[in-house]
Structure 1
């Protein structure tokens, strides 16, 4: 996305829109129907972007309306593991809106089984969503960005489990795929830098969303997680979305290949 928004500005005179403004940009958010994805869609829309939510399940009208912003949000159903469907949906975004500037790769899956009990079928399912799906969406978005010649920003959702061995409970397929996203992010950032496509990731801690509903139902487990977090609490979705907004916008024009932890200090210990 280059340095647009900064040209001609003096130190001390830079506006917030110069850092975060996304007017005229088109942003796609996978897994955007709830949780972190929905919060990201709302933040991007508030910054002026035209947002398209991509979710495996149809997005309810009231959820879509909650995105807000100056432009009505759009929604398309898409399975990130289906290459043909990914290709078709991204082509549809470009056909409808003329471009794609930002991709938030947020769709994810967790099957919390011990490694010795985890079936190959379950392993493959998590890999398909968390790693192959991220690659397919990033590759497809980048093809459109390269063809347009206007650069872009891709933000992948990793996890604190991408940078930690865990130890709280078994979650091997999730940890392995999220760890892979960190290095996939680095590699794509290097490969696509000549096209001015920035690729970064976020590594959130536990966030109060439907994704961790089984954990939220276990008070003793949540107490352990909070005790392991220096801020002594888990995150809310709206506390993660500003990091995505930063990485998507012109204020991060020199940031690529980076994984930004949003973790309440979890990884600092």
Structure 2
């Protein structure tokens, strides 16, 4: 475990990455004694800094929702991060590639809450009752720490769970209208289908992902509020993206498309 002065230094270094445009080396290599509790404390302080400078928390993201990704990162459960308002970008508007460090793209389903939800004890049925609607989404994964061989969940947790941004579609769908587990999504880059998969790859059902996060955040005294947007995790492999790429996340079951491009 790190002492508070070291945690504060890591937070300051993360903030400074936006000025230097140079990602930090892996925290687990720089600070061999760092633990997961340190990583979440660093993330919390990082988010608090952004809020103190005018940002607002608009939602949360869940990552590492597949067993393969958990095993790769040395984790036994998903990870998560708060998302501030500046991380939500408009649909179908060009994004400057240079705002990111090493961006990857994922497709997933976002939940928008209509009522409060707080763990512990949240069940999937509680998520169904508390959800207003779901939206198609593209997440831009990005790294202020690493990436490099040996990266673990501790590195990503401290780094906002590797969140760079999210682009939400504008086609709201009610959960009662379809079986979310059977939704198929495609990642289309420059007109070519690069990845596709089923939403059931996300912990069996993205609803389970939201319930898990509500319970996990309940341990920190955090509540989902009406209007909060929850990114539930990708059900396809993340892919790198470069300037000039056009990306479409295409879903069946009426969810439709969400489009973005990088310039």
TM-score of the pair, normalised by structure 2: 0.27
- Comparing both structures, which one devotes a greater share of its residues to strand? 2
Larger RCO, structures 1/2 (Cα 8 Å, 6+ apart): 2
TM-score of the pair, normalised by structure 1: 0.26
